[in-house]
Amino acid sequence: MKNAVEVCPTTALGMIEKGALLVDVREADEVAEASFDVPEVILIPYSEFEERFVEIPVDREVVVACNVGERSLMATYFLMNHGYEKVANMQYGIVRWAEKGFPMKGELKRKSGGCCCGSPSGSSNSSGSCC
Amino acid sequence: MKQVKILGTGCAKCNQLADAVKAVIAREGIEASVEKVEDIQRIMAYNVLATPALVVDEEVRCKGRVPERDELKEMLTR
């Protein structure tokens, strides 16, 4: 399996400014709290990604992002497995994006990772806490 | 001998599944090697988004949950 392309938020911002599509895979409550303020972003929560990834155009350059870059890396590999060739993961996610002072809406409170099971970090479910 | 892999990046549920699998293997005397796979690239070679996932002899038998003991036994002995 090929290594995923990973870019820092600065490079990601440059790609977005040149026309790349940002795909935010954080869950709805995370997005409601703070989000990327860029002209074009698709919101597909990680927990729905398997069903909804087809909404992402195959022929566009795509940057995938989450809170710290873990869920988005898995989503990036998932897209690669489905034939997407112009996809990159944003390392360190919106947390680093915010630290850099890049355009945002809202205020970021969750500074830790998200959950591989699709839940935001620190949330709990019937099977116990996650990540 | 069965090759069992637990896919997950190390969250509580992933550890729960690993413990449950090891317990069933010990209780039922199943001959198996168990490996925890935490590397994202290796996990995604199975194209699994929802972790934890259980792989038996390179086949994904379960993903995104921790099955009950009886279901696990069936997955491990099938």
Those residues whose C-beta lies under 8 Å from the C-beta of residue B65, and which sit 6 or more positions away, are A127, B13, B50, B52
Range of the domain at A70: 5-106
Where b means 16+ CB within 10 Å and e means fewer, B29-40 reads ebebeeebbeeb
Residue A118 in any domain: the answer is: no
Residue A115 in any domain: the answer is: no
Those residues whose C-beta lies under 8 Å from the C-beta of residue B10, and which sit 6 or more positions away, are A131, B38
ipTM of the complex: 0.88
Indicate the number of domains in chain A: 1
For residue B24, give both structure tokens: 């069933």
Residue A55 Cα distances to A1, A44, A118, angstroms: 24, 9, 19
Residue A112 in any domain: the answer is: no
* Range with the poorest average pLDDT among A40-49, A68-77, A86-95, B10-19: B10-19
Residue A73 in any domain: the answer is: yes
- Count of CB atoms within 10 A of residue A56's CB? 19
Distance CA A78, CA A52 (A): 12
* Mean per-residue pLDDT over chain B, rounded: 95
Instruction: Catalytic residue, from B4, B7, B14, B25: name it.
Output: B14
Of A46, A116, A118, the CB nearest to B9: A116
Distance CA B24, CA B27 (A): 5
A44 three-state secondary structure: coil
Distance CA A4, CA A17 (A): 21
Q: Give me the DSSP letters along A71-123.
A: HHHHHHHHHHHTT--SEEEETTHHHHHHHTT--EEE-----S---TTSSPTT-
What CATH number does the domain containing A55 carry?
3.40.250.10
B24 three-state secondary structure: helix
Distance CA B44, CA A106 (A): 32
Q: What is the bridge-based pairing of β-strands A34-36 and A104-106? A: antiparallel
pLDDT at A123 over 50: no
- Count of CB atoms within 10 A of residue B62's CB? 18
- Supply the pLDDT for residue A1: 83
Structure confidence by residue, pLDDT tens digits, B1-34: 999 999 998 889 999 999 999 999 999 999 999 9
pLDDT band at residue A111 using 50, 70 and 90 as cut-offs: confident
Structure confidence by residue, pLDDT tens digits, A30-52: 999 999 999 999 999 999 999 99
Residue A21 in any domain: the answer is: yes
Residue A79 in any domain: the answer is: yes
More reliable by pLDDT, A110 or A125: A110
Residue A10 in any domain: the answer is: yes
Q: Residues of B near A (CB-CB distance < 8 A)?
A: 8-14, 16, 40-41, 43-45, 47, 49-52, 64-66
Average of pLDDT values for A8-34? 97
Residue A17 in any domain: the answer is: yes
Those residues whose C-beta lies under 8 Å from the C-beta of residue A67, and which sit 6 or more positions away, are A26, A30, A93, A94, A95, A110, A112, A113, A114, A120, A121
Q: How far does the CA of residue B78 sit from the closest CA of chain A (Å)?
A: 25
Number of H helices, E strands in chain B: 3, 4
Across the interface, do B11 and A4 touch by the CB < 8 Å criterion?
Answer: no
